[in-house]
Amino acid sequence: MKLQQLEYVIAIAQEGSITRAAKKLFQAQPNISIALKELEEQLGIQIFNRTPSGMVLTPEGEEFLARARGIIEDVNGLEKDFKERSNRSTVLKIESSRTAYPAAALAYVMNSFPTDDGDITFHLLETSMPKVLEDVSNGKCDVGVVRIPASYAEMVLERVQSKALVTKSVKEYTLSLIMREDHPLAKYDDVPFELLKDYPEVLYGDGEPDISRRASINQSFDVDSSGKKFYIHDRGNQLTVLYNVCNAYMWASPMPKWLVERVGLVVKKCSYAHNLNKDIIIYRRNQEANPLVKACVDAFVKFANMSDDLG
């Protein structure tokens, strides 16, 4: 199998015909037809159904296309990454799961880190915990920050350390509630859990298993406790929905007080959420000597533990 064959399949799927794919790729039509036939014979599957209206993916072809796109994206990303490193720009990629302070910490590093030796480029992605662990391990990102239930910490740390990664525990905390300042429950210093069922809930859209959610909040937590739910991955959109959806709320890790107050929200305690969670920083051992990685790790620790500024 060749990368060129994968590119042919992607182009055919996009264009709906071999003729149009050939024009798009500046290739001769017979070359693409032969390459596709050889690929299907090699794999023992039919990728496309040939119909009067064009080339239509088979179910196996749909699966093959998705994986082919992933491979091509990885190859293009690999090329892009190393081209960036070939110039004077320092590139640092950070991924986090369910934590708010990495962005503020990176802004601090960007403002304070000397750039005499070249430019610095930060990439910050908020994603799921499994993806953070995978991407740090395989080198797709340099530093990861993950929130995990404390009861899972030993298992996760064993898995991480088996991959020769460095870990640093940052903070332990219980989850809090975020809601509008004028939310009916904002009047409580300690929000009664049983009242939450009457209000819509905003949740992370990263597919957290129910068992993990219970471990993060309370082992008796009912995952279907609210009637209306909004699953949203991006933190900015989460805050927007919290402000604009009438009386919505969200379970969250400590978040900078200035951030929630700026958008008209407040952080409230709920004693029902008594399970501890941990924030852990992860990076590869060969990055220990990297001064930018060290600066980021130090900044994450500093911002995570600024208790006076966290809700």
Residue partners of 114: CB distance under 8 A and separation at least 6: none
What global pTM score does this model have?
A: 0.65
Q: In CATH, what class is 175-268?
A: alpha beta
State how far the Cα of 262 lies from the Cα of 265, in Å rounded to an integer: 7
Q: Is the dihedral of CA 191, 193, 195, 198 positive or negative?
A: positive
CATH dotted code for 87-172+277-309? 3.40.190.10
State how far the Cα of 211 lies from the Cα of 200, in Å rounded to an integer: 21
Question: Domain limits of the chain?
Answer: 3-84, 87-172+277-309, 175-268
pLDDT, position 1 = 81
- Which residue is it, tokens 């953070």? 132
- Helix or strand run (H / E) with residue 268: strand 265-268
Identify whether the C-beta of residue 177 lies closer than 8 Å to the C-beta of residue 286.
no
Of 161, 139, 137, 130, the residue nearest 92 (C-alpha)? 139
Tokens of 231: 């699953």
State how far the Cα of 275 lies from the Cα of 216, in Å rounded to an integer: 6
**DSSP 8-state class, residue 58:** -
pLDDT, position 251 = 93
For 46, other C-beta atoms within 10 Å of its C-beta total: 13
Q: Do the first three CATH levels of 87-172+277-309 and 175-268 match, i.e. the same topology?
A: yes
Per DSSP bridges, beta strands 265-268 and 249-252 are unpaired
Residue 123 pairs with which residues in a beta bridge?
A: 93
Per DSSP bridges, beta strands 165-173 and 143-149 are unpaired
Distances (CA, A) of 220 to 206, 215, 268: 22, 9, 20
CATH dotted code for 3-84? 1.10.10.10
State how far the Cα of 151 lies from the Cα of 25, in Å rounded to an integer: 53
Tokens of 182: 């004028």
pLDDT, position 308 = 43
Tokens of 139: 């080198």
Per DSSP bridges, beta strands 48-51 and 54-57 are antiparallel
pLDDT, position 311 = 34
State how far the Cα of 311 lies from the Cα of 259, in Å rounded to an integer: 10
- Which residue is it, tokens 């957290």? 208
Tokens of 181: 């300042």
pLDDT, position 187 = 95
For 107, other C-beta atoms within 10 Å of its C-beta total: 14
For 113, other C-beta atoms within 10 Å of its C-beta total: 15
Identify whether the C-beta of residue 153 lies closer than 8 Å to the C-beta of residue 278.
yes
User: Which pLDDT tens digits describe the chain residue by residue (311 residues)?
Assistant: 888 889 988 999 988 989 999 988 888 989 899 999 998 998 898 999 888 888 999 999 899 998 888 888 888 877 766 665 555 567 889 999 888 788 888 888 888 766 555 677 888 888 888 889 889 988 889 999 998 899 988 888 888 878 878 898 888 999 999 999 999 999 999 999 999 999 999 998 877 778 888 999 998 887 766 678 899 888 888 889 999 998 999 998 877 777 788 888 999 999 999 999 999 999 998 888 888 888 888 888 888 877 444 33
**DSSP 8-state class, residue 175:** -
